[in-house]
A and B are shown apart, each in its own frame.
Chain A
Amino acid sequence: MALTPKGSTFLKPLSALAMLYVLWEATALAFPQWPSPRAVFGVLWRDFGDPGFRTALGGSAWRMTIGYVLVMIVGISSGVLLGRLPLIDQVLGSFAVAIHAIPGAAWVPLAIIWFGMTERAVIFTILLGAAGIVMVNTDTGMREVPPLIQRAARTMGARGWRYFWFVVVPSAIPKTVDGLRLAWAFGWRALMAGELLTSVNGLGQRLNQVAKAGRLDELLAIMLLIAVIGIAIDGLIFKRLEHAVRVRWGLAP
């Protein structure tokens, strides 16, 4: 069967998943202590029926939403500020890069000292773990206005705040969107790290509990769910957004 490009984008990952499943099933047969896929999916199905689990899932979603909105606000506005004011960029730029270099999980202890074992500590972890990439990308995007676009705009009388708002800011959008996509991945990791180390009711904490109780099947079930949510949000929202922007900006066919 000849594969159309559209078909192959679905069939290729699908066949990869099928192979993974077979491999998993075989491993479970060879090592009886390793839970089979059916057992893991069974636990996952049971978990979804459990109100306590649903509360944990909802809590994680809520914290991620709040955290991500803050990441957008802080990341974009500080990026615009750095891009707009070269002096601030020179003074604070390397400081910003340093913050950006610290992984989300490394912020958790500080967050706990400041906010205790609370929801705020988790949100702080997401913010510090993910806002940096948005800021750096927004800043870079604003510095990389294509020279031809700059010249065209200047000959048509663009200067001052109008040049900034109607030329520099839109030029930076593809790079900023790249940053927002990465920030989702960084933020999702930071959320899990934050929940693992604090006593906030969420997927991360759940992971901790089942591991301590030695429930390998449920541990795998939750890890699988974390992966699926991460991939799904990226694929359904960020990948599409990024592609749409790249097409409009003439960066992708």
Chain B
Amino acid sequence: MRVELQHVFKSYRHNGSRLPVLEDISLTVAEGEFVCLLGPSGCGKSTIIHLIAGLERPDTGQILVDGNSVTGPDPSRVVVFQDAALFPWLTVLGNVEFGLRMAGLPAAKRRARAMEYVKLVHLSKFAQAYPHQLSGGMKQRVAIARALALQPEILLLDEPFAALDAQTRAVLQNELLEIWELARPTILFVTHNVREATGLADRVYVISSRPGRIREARPIAVPRPRHAEDPTLLAHQHAILGLLGEEIEKVFREELGETVHFPETQHAVPPDQARGMHI
């Protein structure tokens, strides 16, 4: 399914006044494309995910899925949240079954399909475990399996790996790519990690903050599997960091109420530092 945002504006009430969050966002994601939304914290990228999921409504502008306006949540557009948001009272299998149960699938069929996806994320041994018994990475795997079990045509991932350690994140990124190549859902992946965005996406939308505006849509035409040291990737990362350097400064200024000067070298970091650079 193709996702399209046309001139979307969104603001929230804040101390009686309206605080603009998104300003004139227009973007297109082709069917089966893997797109990353990259921006500093508070740039409204999660709001874009919520709008596409139908959890929130734009002030003005259109959100279209295959040309039809989004009016509410639908299991064809599933969200994976940063905090996994598992149901604590259900086992791993129970969580993965949840959406299928909501769709009214008979128990045996439901269980069989849920088990497939539990296996896909390598959690067969933990099918009967409860979320409180799992590590952060395992919880996020369950969240992904739970979303995939619905066989969604659009998968919306809201900083799904942000709270994980570097190794776990790398493993899950690879698993996500494998799954994507198998089922080819349209993916919108929100992150504030430059390396993650360039490593995963066909295209990266760089978003500025307060209010969120699209600064650039950058195609990453590097074949997969991608190597971390690939010079083209590194060039993309440097370009994005350069573009966002001023943005980061702006965020700091607003949050800390003082001017923060980044030394020149910050914008031209050596490759091994740039790869892990969070913005």
Contact = CB atoms under 8 A, between A and B. Distances in A.
Contact of A157 (B81, B83, B90, B102): B102
A152 B81 contact: yes
A155 B77 contact: yes
Interface in A158-184: 158-159, 162-163, 166-167, 170, 173
A248 interface: yes
B102 A170 contact: no
Contacts of A247: 132
Given A155-B53, A170-B89, A250-B132, 19 more contacts: A148-B85, A151-B50, A151-B85, A152-B79, A152-B86, A155-B55, A155-B75, A155-B78, A156-B98, A156-B150, A157-B73, A157-B74, A157-B102, A162-B102, A167-B87, A248-B88, A248-B132, A249-B89, A249-B132
Contacts of B119: none
A156 B131 CA distance: 18
Interface class of chain A by DSSP: helix
A17 B58 CA distance: 64
B233 to A, nearest CB: 32
Contact of B87 (A151, A157, A170): A170
A232 interface: no
A223 interface: no
B132 A155 contact: no
A83 B85 CA distance: 23
Interface in A215-253: 247-250
Nearest to A166: B101
Contacts of B54: 155
A198 to B, nearest CB: 42
A154 to B, nearest CB: 5
Contacts of A167: 87
16 contacts: A151-B50, A151-B79, A151-B81, A151-B85, A152-B81, A153-B87, A153-B98, A154-B55, A154-B73, A155-B77, A155-B78, A155-B79, A156-B75, A162-B101, A170-B90, A250-B88
Interface of B: 50, 53-55, 73-75, 77-79, 81, 83, 85-90, 98-99, 101-103, 130-132, 146-147, 150
A156 B78 contact: yes
A149 interface: yes
Contact of B146 (A149, A156, A248): A156
A240 B79 CA distance: 36
B226 to A, nearest CB: 29
B55 A248 contact: no
A157 B99 CA distance: 7
A247 B89 CA distance: 10
Contacts of A162: 101-102
Contacts of A163: 102
Contacts of B130: 248
Given A154-B55, A166-B102, A248-B132, A149 B89 contact: no
A163 B98 CA distance: 11
A199 to B, nearest CB: 46
A168 B110 CA distance: 22
Interface string A125-147: 00000000000000000000000
Nearest to A156: B99
A157 B55 contact: no
Nearest to A154: B73
B101 to A, nearest CB: 7
A249 B75 contact: no
Nearest to A245: B89
Contacts of B101: 162, 166
A152 B73 contact: no
A151 B55 CA distance: 7
B55 to A, nearest CB: 6
